[in-house]
């Protein structure tokens, strides 16, 4: 039933895009106080493709990991969180510089929300004309918001040279972003900024760094399979290297 509802929402959203030029976000409960927000982008061939970000409800507000794919969809998320939880977004951490991770940071900043990324991510966003988070960090960094812990970890190059993952140790959730591919993926995806040679070694570093992972959220498509997605990412990276 959930799969049917999701398909219906996607078809409805595509139809709505044709009429109103706006795609509708979808939110899904993951575990505890953690939710996945799925937004949609239009690819060069005109097809609609899903992107996942994540949010965590805390005592005083909401932590956002990556923005939805664009300003209109980020505005939808802000409105959804205000109406559903009566809470505002406290901060957002972007996991790399591409638009499906940073496309809504200007809307967040206009709403007084702190936006963070690694220094390298901000530098690359500036070079490539993408939206730039306001605040930066260097090296692996831990955020503590209302006793909710987020650990930003840089495993090395892969999808991009700046890609990081976010670990939530209190719930054993890993947000892999576009560094991790879904089991639904049929290819490695956007290779414009990828390092296929380094990617497998970076995956092994993540596997060694985090134990007892219960959920893995990839940057796109479904998240069933959890740590099996590591193997799928390695497989697709090897296929792309041939």
Distance CA 215, CA 126 (A): 32
- Compute CA 15 distance to the chain's CA centroid, rounded to the nearest angstrom: 25
Average pLDDT value for the chain:
92
Please give the domain boundaries of the chain with CATH numbers for all domains: 23-241 (3.60.15.10)
Whether the per-residue pLDDT at 17 is higher than 80: the answer is no
**Tens-digit pLDDT profile for residues 39-68:** 999 988 889 999 999 999 999 999 999 999
**Tens-digit pLDDT profile for residues 150-187:** 999 999 999 999 999 999 999 999 999 999 999 999 99
Whether the per-residue pLDDT at 202 is higher than 80: the answer is yes
| DSSP letter for each residue of 10-54 | HHHHHHHHHHHS-PPPEEEEEETTEEEEEEEEE-TTS-EEEEEEE
Q: Is 86 helix (H, G, I), strand (E, B) or coil?
A: coil
State the catalytic residues. Answer: 96, 98, 100, 159, 178, 181, 190, 220
- How big is the CA angle at 236 (ends 193 and 168), to the nearest 5 degrees? 75
Whether 181 and 233 have beta carbons less than 8 Å apart is answered as yes
CA-nearest of 189, 177, 158, 190 to 223 is 177
Whether the per-residue pLDDT at 7 is higher than 80: the answer is no
**Tens-digit pLDDT profile for residues 76-109:** 999 999 999 999 999 999 999 999 999 999 999 9
Q: Which residues contact 206 (CB under 8 A, 6 or more apart)?
A: 153, 155, 165, 174, 176, 179, 230
Distance CA 14, CA 11 (A): 5
pTM assigned to the model: 0.91
**Tens-digit pLDDT profile for residues 209-223:** 999 999 999 999 999
Share of the chain above pLDDT 90, in %: 88
């Amino acid at each position: 039933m959930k799969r049917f509802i999701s398909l219906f929402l996607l078809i409805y959203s595509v139809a709505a895009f044709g009429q109103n030029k706006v795609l509708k976000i979808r939110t899904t409960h993951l575990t505890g106080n953690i939710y996945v927000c799925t937004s949609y982008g239009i690819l060069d061939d005109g097809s609609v493709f899903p992107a996942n970000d994540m949010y965590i409800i805390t005592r005083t507000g909401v932590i956002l990991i990556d923005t939805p794919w664009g300003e209109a969809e980020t505005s939808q998320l802000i409105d959804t969180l205000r109406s559903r939880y009566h809470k505002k977004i406290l901060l957002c951490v972007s996991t790399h510089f591409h638009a499906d991770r940073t496309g809504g940071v200007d809307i967040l900043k206009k709403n007084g929300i702190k936006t963070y990324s690694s220094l390298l991510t901000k530098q690359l966003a500036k070079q490539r004309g993408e939206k730039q988070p306001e605040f930066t960090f260097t090296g692996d960094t831990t955020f503590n918001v209302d006793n909710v812990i987020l650990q930003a970890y840089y495993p090395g190059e892969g999808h991009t040279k700046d890609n990081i993952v976010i670990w939530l140790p209190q719930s054993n959730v890993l947000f892999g972003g576009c560094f991790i591919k879904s089991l639904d993926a049929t290819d490695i995806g956007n290779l414009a900024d990828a390092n296929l040679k380094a990617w497998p070694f970076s995956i092994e570093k993540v596997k060694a760094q985090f134990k007892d992972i219960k959920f893995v959220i990839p940057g796109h498509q479904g998240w069933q399979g959890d740590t099996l997605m590591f193997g799928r990412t390695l497989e697709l990276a090897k296929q792309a290297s041939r």
